[in-house]
Amino acid sequence: MKLPVNATKKYDIVSFPSFDFLAVEMKKKARGKNVLIVSDDNVAPLYLEEVKSALSGFFVHTFVFPAGERSKNVDTYLKIVGALAENGFVRQDCVLALGGGVVGDVAGFAAATYMRGISFVQCPTSFLAMIDSSVGGKTAVDLPQGKNLLGAFYQPDLVYIALKTLSTLPEREVRCGMGEAVKYAFLSESVTPELLKRGVTEELIFECLKIKADIVEKDEFDKGTRAFLNLGHTLGHAVEKLSDYSLSHGECVVKGLAKIIDMSVKKFSLSEEKKQKMISLLALSGTEPTLPFGLQEVLAETVHDKKREKSGVNFVLLKDIGKPTSVLLTAEEAEALLQ
């Protein structure tokens, strides 16, 4: 399948069964010959050799770091840009992210900033990265103070999905991706419960991507409606940080979404029927929605959220399924809605 994204940089999201067409797709865009494949030590043993052989005609370099959110930091970023400099990369050369959202975010930030921006290809291998993080140009690393605090908007030149990579994705990671897929189902009824029940399919991936691309095209630099993509994330990011990243991003988004349902029901006096519809939808994520920390603790952690303003934190709430809205709340107001 193919989906064009009309952001300030125009690019395609393409899916194929394997990596066989990667070089062909890259050559449509690439002017440089050097490629640095950035991957983690779970994904590299599975796919690095295959991707290297698929990139005939390119000079391939590799950089592999330990898997996990704790690697999404300044140190990994500096090592990647260091590798680019040591190997004489110039602007036309390319960084290729082979992995989940962690690889994509840190490799993307390196591509965005090395020589003020070099060519960048995303090869997402987790379900979450396929439907969310590889598209839209948000790149970042975490700081000790909070998630994604150092980053840049930088669209890729190509998003290449090799569907075969889903076959090795651990069950827990599939559920994490389902957390984000359910988020899309809350944002638009085009991701139906029936589609979610069928599990990870190419159709589900592209239905989610259509929603993401549409929002990104309308508000690429996150000044308004792009905040809707952060549904469940304000509390989710706080829980992720409090768990010291032992809980994954997708799991924390589900916990955040559960609280958004409670807050929305109270704020907009939603009917019991609507509430139950939302709870059933969330259950399709397969992740336990309970908050593992006290409410006060979680709310205190939201002070590091990027969407905060002087007078409070912006929460995306739901007037109904498919009807998100941004609401600026002080900590007291948020707490009152959560009681």
Nearest CA-CA partner of 177 in 141, 124, 216: 124
- State which residue has the least CB distance to ligand NAD: 101
Identify what 76 binds: ligand NAD, ligand GLY, none; CB under 5 to 8 Å per kind. Answer: none
Identify what 226 binds: ligand NAD, ligand GLY, none; CB under 5 to 8 Å per kind. Answer: ligand GLY
Give the count of residues interacting with ligand NAD (CB under 6 A). 33
DSSP 157: S
Q: List the one residue from 113, 230, 248, 287 that touches ligand GLY (CB under 6 A).
A: 230
- Binding string, 175-214, against ligand GLY, x = CB under 6 A? ----------------------------------------
Q: How many angstroms separate the CA atoms of 67 and 81, rounded?
A: 18
Given phi > 0 = left and psi -120 to 50 = alpha, else beta, which region is 289? alpha
Using rule CB under 6 A, residue 105 touches ligand NAD = yes
* Tokens read off for 29: 């865009």
Identify what 129 binds: ligand GLY, ligand NAD, none; CB under 5 to 8 Å per kind. Answer: ligand NAD
* Tokens read off for 234: 């304000």
Q: How many angstroms separate the CA atoms of 37 and 132, rounded?
A: 20
Residue number with CB closer to ligand NAD (93 or 132): 132
Q: Which of residues 132-151 bind ligand GLY (CB under 6 A)?
A: 132, 136, 138
For Cα atoms 316, 241, 185, give the angle at the middle one, nearest 5 degrees.
35
Residue number with CB closer to ligand NAD (72 or 267): 72
137 three-class SS: coil
Nearest CA-CA partner of 300 in 250, 240, 235, 251: 235
Q: List the one residue from 34, 76, 119, 165 that touches ligand NAD (CB under 6 A).
A: 165
Torsion from C-alpha of 277, 283, 289, 290, nearest 10 degrees: 80
Residues at the site binding ligand NAD, with contacts judged by CB under 6 A? 40, 42-43, 46, 67-69, 72, 99-103, 105, 125-126, 128-129, 132-133, 136, 138, 147-148, 165, 168-170, 173, 176, 248-250
